[in-house]
Chain A
Amino acid sequence: MTMNNLRKTFQEIARYPSAIVGAVVILALVGVAIYTMITIPYQKAIELWRGGEDVWFMNPKNVPPAWFNLFTAKKQPVSFVINDQQGQMTRTVKTHSDGSQSITITYTFNYAYDYFPQDILLYFKATFKAKQPFASLVWITPDGRKINVTNFGVPNQFTYRVSQDSVLQGKLHGIDPQIALFADPKSPDPANPVPLKGTYQMVVSGVTWEANSDLSAEFVLHGQVAGLAGTDNYRRDLMVALLWGTPVALAFGLLAAGGTTLLTMVFSAIGAWYGGWVDGLIQRITEVNMVLPFLPILIMIGTLFSHSIWVILGATVALSIFTAQIKAYRAIFMQVKESTFVEAAKAYGASNWRIISLYLIPRMIPTLIPSLVLSVPSFVFLEASLAVLGLGDPTLPTWGKIIDDAFNQSALYNGWYYWILEPAVLLMITGLAFALLGFALDRIFNPRLREA
């Protein structure tokens, strides 16, 4: 193709709005993929995704993204953390003559939401030699009520969860503490209390008994919404997996589509050119391959051999080379083989490989490009399909695996729609973008199908 031809092709593509939409979306996805790989390197992504409670303790479980509040009149509480880096926290230390200290930590926050939070947690850290420091917690509501929450000796590390405190629940007339602490005492319907809006305070009064003994704590409120993508049942921010799913999906789709299309073409060109037993062998392999059921074989390879995405990719390409497509390409090559310019090449003594690579294969490019682009979505969805069957790569977070996780937790039944919809919408956008571009390219390169 000369420069002029290329420019003409681009001008034609520009005439199809669907092609432009498709191309723009694909470029955007590539941009997201590159951004992801730079900002969250592979190792970090794996660590985050497999990190568990230690990494994700600030997040509530199974909550939709924070931007859900933009579309509702009544606001769900957003999760937040108060510690010495963020939020309004004061810490005063008074040292007594006997070496003991009184430490008072006050967390102040404004609660202006229409629903109750999922939980309140305090992460305590204490240093001591023999005697545990002692802490007592007091809750101050906007209308000035003081509620003695609890008191206990603090070990080296301790997590206090308001929702798990049955003594406190008893004190609060059996109502769940995370509700009772926020409930407006003047709620119109006491059975369905509403939260009291305003400034709340949690005061931790601690006493340490030894010199060099210390007590600190972090305050975390688990709301009903969190982050840009929400969280799953392990409190993980789905954004990590959504972002990392992009390069994985694109790489799998493009590599599988490219590998399959190119290898199919090369094999059919070789078969058509050499003929004889080479052609016969390729035809027989194709027939055997068509007897093998594609998806069950892939599932067997995934179950029995390896879950690694690269093994699955290799198997997918290997199984997709010798299909009906190779017969279609062969038919075209048989025609090209008889054309005069191939005769001319033979006459000047071109080698077999020269004819295949310089005369036969370039003639296929117009057929090739649309079918390559069109086959990308099916491979992207194939990766997701295998993940939905539980055969996803165990290390990588992918879109398909989010859907699989969601299914395993009965997300649709439990109403956690965001969990399935986010990866599903991304998959669909990716598939449709390639489909739109592919269909347009098909009409440009194969004018016989062109619409009026």
Chain B
Amino acid sequence: MAVAVQPEPGAEKKKSSSTIARVGRYSLTRLVILFITLVIGVYLTILIANMGGYVDVIMKAEIRANTTMSFMSSRAVQQMDPATRSKLLEAMITQEDNRLGLNTPFAIRSFRYLGNALTLNLGSAQQMTSDSGSKQVRLIILERLPATLLLMGTSELFLFFSTLFLALALSRHYASFWDKLVIALSPTSTVPPWFYGIFLILIFAALLHLMPFGGLVDAPAPTNPVDFVLNVLKHMTLPALSLILASFFLTIYSWRTFFLIYSSEDYVEMAKAKGLTSRNIERRYILRPTLPNIVTQFALMLIGVWQGAIITETVFLWPGLGRTLFRAIGFYDTPVIVGTVVIYAYLLAITVFLLDFVYALVDPRVKIGE
């Protein structure tokens, strides 16, 4: 991401070509490449999620077992003669196979999955249902999205801005006590969020009984909207705190090192010599040239929010997208898996594409397609 100017094979330097043509050509090549990347990525996911077709075998066996069981338990069936009975059973199994499309060869089906995924036609889930009872993958995802956005969005936004400002402050006080403290604490970020989660649950839920063990709201949920919001916030505190704790100090440390490198540039020394206020120096001479990196991190952070935090959500029983994805994998529910992955891939590709333009906007030294 750090390389802002990316020469592409087709984009030869022609002094005569106008800016619009250059940008247009660059954008087109870039879009094509990103799209191909995305297609390959999504297709690989489809292959892995189906075990290259082996999931079909598992599902067919499961359908046979389940259909036979429900079929045999019906009283009407027990009075039929064996031949009719087995014929009817086979017909029911074939019907169920057809419903899930298992009778088409996987190679053909995989491309149909790909086409559907790329057109965001997410289809319906095989096993899972949303809480409202729908099998539509779109609805399952939309139902879980708010919980994930609430938890991840809050903690990631807080993390992003707090670490940025603290790092800026630290870079001004190089080698101070706080600076050294942050450096000493930065190894704490090798521990993943769910791990902090365990300790937070232990202390605040099990020992002190201050916080709930997990979940989104109490059951039954408070009816009063104000109480409801407060209750959700209470449930959110521990997972959010563990997400923040897990990357807080290392993020400050890396931003601070980054700002330090930029504050030792000659033009910053020059600005200091001119007697500009430190506020001005920070805004114009340190933040301005580092803006592309800050924007990149911000964009990547926003995409990361989409995926949710699989393990943290599992540990805290938070009904978000990460947990849904994990459950979908357990159910071999390919449409749900592919649905979440394809949206993530699109978001990533679009972000990467747009970032080039953002670089050119915030950094006059960068020219698109040169």
Q: Is A388 in contact with B194, judged by CB distance below 8 angstroms? A: yes
Interface centre among A324, A389, A413, A436 (most CB of B within 10 A): A389
Q: Is B191 in contact with A452, judged by CB distance below 8 angstroms? A: no
Confirm or deny: B205 has a beta carbon within 8 angstroms of a beta carbon on chain A. Answer: yes
Flag the segment in A41-49, A148-156, A236-244, A287-295 that touches B. A287-295
**Which residues of A are found within 8 Å of B329, using beta-carbon distances?**
296, 299-300, 303-304
How far in angstroms is the closest Cβ of chain A from B226?
29
User: Which applies to chain A's interface (DSSP): helix, strand, loop or mixed?
Assistant: helix
CA A431 – CA B246 in complex, angstroms? 13
Q: Is B202 in contact with A417, judged by CB distance below 8 angstroms? A: yes
Confirm or deny: A421 has a beta carbon within 8 angstroms of a beta carbon on chain B. Answer: yes
Interface centre among B183, B190, B201 (most CB of A within 10 A): B190
List residues of A (432-452) whose CB comes within 8 Å of B's CBs: 432, 434-436, 439, 448-449, 451-452
Confirm or deny: B106 has a beta carbon within 8 angstroms of a beta carbon on chain A. Answer: no
CA A435 – CA B1 in complex, angstroms? 26
How far in angstroms is the closest Cβ of chain A from B266?
16
Q: Which of A288, A415, A427, A435 contacts B195 (CB 8 A)?
A: A427
Question: With A291-B345, A435-B190 known to touch, is A412 a contact of B195 (CB < 8 Å)?
Answer: no
List residues of A (211-247) whose CB comes within 8 Å of B's CBs: none
Q: Is A412 in contact with B44, judged by CB distance below 8 angstroms? A: no
Q: Which of B190, B310, B337 contacts A431 (CB 8 A)?
A: B190
**Which residues of A are found within 8 Å of B326, using beta-carbon distances?**
299, 389
**Contact mask B317-332 → A, CB, 8 Å, 1/0?**
0000000011001101
How far in angstroms is the closest Cβ of chain B from A89?
41
Flag the segment in A110-118, A179-187, A347-355, A377-385 that touches B. A377-385
Confirm or deny: A82 has a beta carbon within 8 angstroms of a beta carbon on chain B. Answer: no
Q: Which of B1, B45, B175, B337 contacts A292 (CB 8 A)?
A: B45
Q: Which of B48, B257, B330 contacts A449 (CB 8 A)?
A: B257
CA A389 – CA B54 in complex, angstroms? 23
Q: Which of A290, A374, A452 contacts B348 (CB 8 A)?
A: A290
**Which residues of A are found within 8 Å of B199, using beta-carbon distances?**
424
Confirm or deny: A301 has a beta carbon within 8 angstroms of a beta carbon on chain B. Answer: yes
CA A380 – CA B149 in complex, angstroms? 29
**Which residues of A are found within 8 Å of B202, using beta-carbon distances?**
412, 417, 420-421
List residues of B (45-60) whose CB comes within 8 Å of A's CBs: 45, 48-49, 51, 54-55
Residue of B nearest to A290 (CB): B348
Residue of B nearest to A303 (CB): B329
CA A388 – CA B310 in complex, angstroms? 11
Residue of A nearest to B49 (CB): A300
CA A359 – CA B48 in complex, angstroms? 39
> Number of residues in B with C-beta < 8 Å to the partner?
55
Confirm or deny: B261 has a beta carbon within 8 angstroms of a beta carbon on chain A. Answer: yes
Interface size class of A (residues with CB under 8 A): 35 or more
How far in angstroms is the closest Cβ of chain B from A148?
43
CA A304 – CA B337 in complex, angstroms? 13
How far in angstroms is the closest Cβ of chain B from A343?
24
Q: Is B48 in contact with A389, judged by CB distance below 8 angstroms? A: no
Residue of B nearest to A381 (CB): B192
How far in angstroms is the closest Cβ of chain B from A103?
49
Flag the segment in B34-42, B116-124, B353-361 that touches A. B34-42
How far in angstroms is the closest Cβ of chain A from B246?
10
Residue of B nearest to A430 (CB): B190
Q: Is B44 in contact with A288, judged by CB distance below 8 angstroms? A: yes
How far in angstroms is the closest Cβ of chain B from A394?
16
Residue of A nearest to B314 (CB): A389
Q: Is A324 in contact with B51, judged by CB distance below 8 angstroms? A: no
Confirm or deny: A428 has a beta carbon within 8 angstroms of a beta carbon on chain B. Answer: yes
Q: Is A428 in contact with B332, judged by CB distance below 8 angstroms? A: no
Q: Is B38 in contact with A413, judged by CB distance below 8 angstroms? A: no
Confirm or deny: A168 has a beta carbon within 8 angstroms of a beta carbon on chain B. Answer: no
Confirm or deny: B307 has a beta carbon within 8 angstroms of a beta carbon on chain A. Answer: yes
CA A434 – CA B45 in complex, angstroms? 33
Q: Is A297 in contact with B310, judged by CB distance below 8 angstroms? A: no
Q: Which of B40, B186, B187 contacts A288 (CB 8 A)?
A: B40
Q: Is B195 in contact with A296, judged by CB distance below 8 angstroms? A: no
Q: Which of B37, B183, B187 contacts A284 (CB 8 A)?
A: B37
Confirm or deny: B302 has a beta carbon within 8 angstroms of a beta carbon on chain A. Answer: no
Question: With A389-B314, A432-B190 known to touch, is A293 a contact of B307 (CB < 8 Å)?
Answer: yes
How far in angstroms is the closest Cβ of chain B from A20?
14
**Which residues of B are found within 8 Å of A452, using beta-carbon distances?**
174-175
Q: Is B51 in contact with A305, judged by CB distance below 8 angstroms? A: yes
CA A378 – CA B37 in complex, angstroms? 27
**Which residues of B are found within 8 Å of A327, using beta-carbon distances?**
3
Q: Which of A287, A300, A428, A439 contacts B191 (CB 8 A)?
A: A428
Confirm or deny: A326 has a beta carbon within 8 angstroms of a beta carbon on chain B. Answer: no
**Which residues of B are found within 8 Å of A299, using beta-carbon distances?**
310, 326, 329
Confirm or deny: A403 has a beta carbon within 8 angstroms of a beta carbon on chain B. Answer: yes
CA A436 – CA B180 in complex, angstroms? 14
CA A428 – CA B175 in complex, angstroms? 27
Confirm or deny: B315 has a beta carbon within 8 angstroms of a beta carbon on chain A. Answer: yes
Confirm or deny: B285 has a beta carbon within 8 angstroms of a beta carbon on chain A. Answer: no
**Which residues of B are found within 8 Å of A331, using beta-carbon distances?**
3
How far in angstroms is the closest Cβ of chain A from B179?
8
Question: With A412-B213, A435-B190, A452-B175 known to touch, is A304 a contact of B332 (CB < 8 Å)?
Answer: yes
How far in angstroms is the closest Cβ of chain B from A370?
13
CA A325 – CA B77 in complex, angstroms? 63
**Which residues of A are found within 8 Å of B344, using beta-carbon distances?**
293
Q: Which of A292, A378, A420, A431 contacts B198 (CB 8 A)?
A: A420
**Which residues of A are found within 8 Å of B187, using beta-carbon distances?**
432, 435-436, 439
How far in angstroms is the closest Cβ of chain A from B296?
11
**Contact mask B168-209 → A, CB, 8 Å, 1/0?**
000000110001100110111011101100110110011000
Question: With A288-B41, A299-B310, A451-B175 known to touch, is A415 a contact of B206 (CB < 8 Å)?
Answer: yes
Confirm or deny: B63 has a beta carbon within 8 angstroms of a beta carbon on chain A. Answer: no
CA A420 – CA B261 in complex, angstroms? 42
**Which residues of B are found within 8 Å of A388, using beta-carbon distances?**
194, 311, 314-315
CA A439 – CA B330 in complex, angstroms? 38
- Beyond the given pairs A291-B42, A296-B340, 9 more chain A to chain B contacts, judged by CB atoms under 8 angstroms and listed by A's residue number, are A293-B307, A296-B307, A388-B194, A388-B311, A412-B205, A424-B199, A435-B190, A451-B179, A451-B180
B residues adjacent to A (C-beta < 8 A): 1, 3, 33, 37-38, 40-42, 44-45, 48-49, 51, 54-55, 174-175, 179-180, 183-184, 186-188, 190-192, 194-195, 198-199, 201-202, 205-206, 213, 257, 261, 307, 310-311, 314-315, 325-326, 329-330, 332, 337, 340-341, 344-345, 348-349
Q: Which 7 A-B pairs have the closest CB atoms?
A: A291-B41, A435-B187, A377-B190, A452-B175, A435-B190, A304-B51, A431-B190
Q: Can you give 5 contacting A-B residue pairs, CB < 8 Å?
A: A304-B54, A324-B1, A385-B194, A412-B201, A417-B206
